[in-house]
Structure 1
Amino acid sequence: MNRIVLLLSLLFLTAACAQNATPTSEAMAFQKRLNEEFKDGKTSPLPKDAIKKFTALAFFPIDERYVVQARLIPTPDSEPFEMPTTTARKPMYKKYGELHFDFEGVPVVLSVFQNLELLDKADHKNSLFLPFTDLTSGVSSYGGGRYMDLQIPSGDSLTLNFNLAYNPYCVYNHKYSCPIPPEENYIKAEIKAGVMDYKYE
């Protein structure tokens, strides 16, 4: 769990440092930080033998077509619920709102969530969690879907840079318990951005 919190902190740090950066430079910084984390035995989710062989994660080419502006519609009356995971663990989440946008002519509505445990941490009180699947899932990206970490905006518009999409830790090590993206967060388009599926050497 501590490693998951550390990953979230690294991702939020990347976003904070890149507020005035372009989506491309933000994605480059994200890729660099993620590879550094995976190479470090203290922070890597990989098994010890895999860390020794690790060189870099596979990413889709950075493409600003996958940077979209979404309208955030809050759902303040949503009740807390147990989110299914890849194990018996069921962490408590709450649906914060819905993200509405069009991607290449396809209307998309995604639910975005808050982890109630992380809300107790000062650094994550404005954190939002976006798990999703798309037409690349099980083909060129992980079949179980990917995640994005977001921040609550000051208004009703939120930038989604899918070049920052990453895999759940259970892709790399079965000891981790990972939230399963809900069916409602299936994007009927290919999101060829972010981290690709991991291939064991």
Structure 2
Amino acid sequence: MRRLLLICLLFITKQLLAQSYQDSIVNHRENYKKEFLDSKSSPLKEADLSYLKFYEPDVQYRVNCIFKKSENVNPFNMSTSSGQKQEYYKYGVLSFQLQGKNMELNLYRSLSLMRVPQYKNYLFIPFKDATNGKDTYGGGRYLALETTDIQNDSVILDFNKAYNPYCAFSDGYSCPIPPKENHLTVRIEAGEKIFGKAH
């Protein structure tokens, strides 16, 4: 009887944690939509928000990563959709397992954003995967972390928070193109999907 009760309690706890996680992703996406309305440079108006599409939250795409900081690196010019270059430097590498495979993604810091107090800890993770051009934007998607998220050389990376560059919504923007080192061969069925309105 006690064993059955314990199993039931564990099941209920797991269900509650899963629901709590899903709720946190829903809240994250609502805040994401709100930011479009608060930004003067936003490509979207309130009427456009209904065209934003997302995969259902899936905890398997919330992965624990080992972080290795890059040493003695020089800035480089990251290509953008407009042909312009933006200066970044490689901050480090994230190693993790997903779908039974070992993977890596590079973290970058923008030299221009480092000079802005509110973005001084900002880490940029542009990436591509096998969903691009089908379910998700062909130019890849982005993730963001902060240096303070990394503790004891580890950090959680949540692909459910992957978002589209502004170029996915409108022309006229200069969006960083994910470097080849950040091209994943698997399908990342998490985060934002392709925008539902033509432009």
- 1:60/1:195 contact within 8 Å kept: yes
Q: CA deviation at 1:187?
A: 1.3
TM-score by length of 2: 0.82
Residue 177 of structure 2: aligned partner: 180
The ranges of structure 1 where at least 4 consecutive aligned residues each deviate by more than 4 angstroms after the TM superposition are 39-43
**Whole-angstrom distance in 2 between the partners of 1:97 and 1:119:** 16
Render the CA deviation track for 1:59-78: whole Å, top value 9, x for unaligned: 00011110000111110211
The answer to whether the 8 Å contact 2:65/2:155 transfers is yes
Q: Which residue of 2 aligns with 1:142?
A: 137
- 1:25 is aligned to 23
Deviations 1:47-99 (A, max 9, x none): x6xx5454251000011110000111110211101110001321110000011
Q: Distance in 2 between matches of 1:82 and 1:23?
A: 37
- Structure 2 counterpart of 1:34: 32
Distance 1:97 1:23, change over 3 A: farther
| Cross-structure match for 1:198 | 195
C-alpha contact 1:37 1:43 (8 A) present in aligned 2 = no
Partner of 1:6: none
Structure 1 equivalent of residue 12 of structure 2: none
Superposition deviation, residue 131 in structure 1: 0.4
Instruction: Tell me which structure has the larger Cα radius of gyration.
Output: 2
Deviations 1:3-41 (Å, cap 9, x if unpaired)?
xxxxxxxxxxxxxxxxxxx64333212210122234568
**166, 169, 186: which one pairs with 1:169?**
166
RMSD of aligned Cα (Å): 1.8
Query: Size of the alignment, in residue pairs?
Result: 177
Alignment of 1:48-197 (within 5 A): 51-152=46-147, 153-197=150-194
Q: Which letter maps to 2:65?
A: A
In 2, distance between residues paired with 1:26 and 1:118? 27
Q: 1:79 to 1:172 in 2, by over 3 A?
A: same
Distance 1:158 1:23 in 2: 17
Q: Alignment partner of 1:24: what SS?
A: helix
Q: 1:140-189, CA deviations, whole angstroms, 9 ceiling, x for partnerless residues?
A: 01111000010121320010011100000011111110000011111121
- TM-score, normalised to structure 1's length? 0.81
Q: 1:74·1:97 contact (CA, 8 Å) conserved in 2?
A: yes
User: Residues 114-157 of structure 1, C-alpha deviation per residue, up to 9 Å, x if partnerless?
Assistant: 01111112222221100001111111011110000101213200
Partners in 1 of 2:50 and 2:176 — Cα distance? 27
Q: Which moved more, 1:162-171 or 1:28-37?
A: 28-37
Going from structure 1 to structure 2, the CA distance change for 1:175 and 1:154 (only over 3 Å counts) comes to: same
Number of the residue aligned with 1:45:
43
Determine if contact 1:146/1:165 at 8 Å carries over to the other structure: yes
Identity of aligned residues (%): 38
Rounded Cα–Cα distance in structure 1 between residues aligned with 2:165 and 2:22: 22
Q: Which runs of 5+ in 1 are unaligned?
A: 1-21
